[in-house]
Amino acid sequence: MPEDPSVADSSAASAPVADARVAYSAPLDGGGLLEGDLAATPLEQLARWYDEVSASGSVVEPNAMVLATVDAGGLPDARTVLLKGLDARGLSFYTHHTSTKGQQLLATPAAAAVLPWHAVQRSVRVRGPVLRLDDDEVADYFASRPYGSRIGAHASRQSAVVDGREPLETAYERAAAHWPDDGRTVPVPGSWGGYRIVPVEVELWVGRASRLHDRLVYLPAAHEAAGLGVDAALALDDPSAWRVVRRQP
């Protein structure tokens, strides 16, 4: 929708939004990100960066990941989830299948995600088809969660409208009474599970001076495989499957 030219540029925030700027200096990357710096595979590079960001202590939740999906009308939707798996198959996260994102992924099983490591002037962007995790993998992860998180998964009808906190807290107390914290197994809710983004594109970004940022991208080595279909999915640990290009900032 075009903007109304009669409305002057302004900000509702008391802080000057348009004037907010950061001087980029690539604190973890010295002279920036060059092609020769990259690992042979996306998996090795992602694991290296994740370890470095975690060790820096500058990012509170380095596995916090912005996940973008689309609704039935093609309108993008985004929210933060936690990355809970990274291997040759892709990037995994967990949620309720009946949630808004779960329903959107059922209708359009593809997504984009960003690991926004602003504090160290790095980010990772991936996109590709999305697959549901099998029941055994979901059960193993669910059993590793803290007791409160397992009970919370039973109490919450994620994305449903609720009239205040009281019904949610009551549902939690009811679930906790049904499955007390006495060592017995809390079952996986029937509506809860996991997903894996199977990347066909992995972009690494480093902030540089004068907005001349570095953007290096792993793409399928075969150009015709660059679509979003599951058949285009490649193992993240296969060096022969990927090529690297540089995009302008």
Q: What pLDDT score was predicted for residue 27?
A: 84
Q: What is the pLDDT of residue 9?
A: 56
Per-residue CA distances from 54 to 57, 195, 205 (Å): 6, 23, 17
**Residue 232's pLDDT is what?**
58
163-222 residue pLDDT tens: 999 999 999 999 999 999 998 899 999 999 999 999 999 999 999 999 999 999 999 998
Return the higher-pLDDT residue of 3 and 189.
189
The residue ranking higher by pLDDT, 42 or 10, is: 42
| Domains of the chain as residue ranges with CATH | 22-246 (2.30.110.10)
pLDDT category at 5 given cuts 50, 70, 90 is: low
* pTM for this model (two decimals): 0.90
Would you state the structure tokens that stand for residue 248, as one six-digit string?
Answer: 């302008």
Q: What are the pLDDT digits (tens) for 38-50?
A: 999 999 999 999 9
pLDDT digit string (tens) for 128-152? 999 999 999 999 999 999 999 999 9
More confident site: 201 or 29 = 201
Q: What is the pLDDT of residue 11?
A: 64
pLDDT for 18: 87
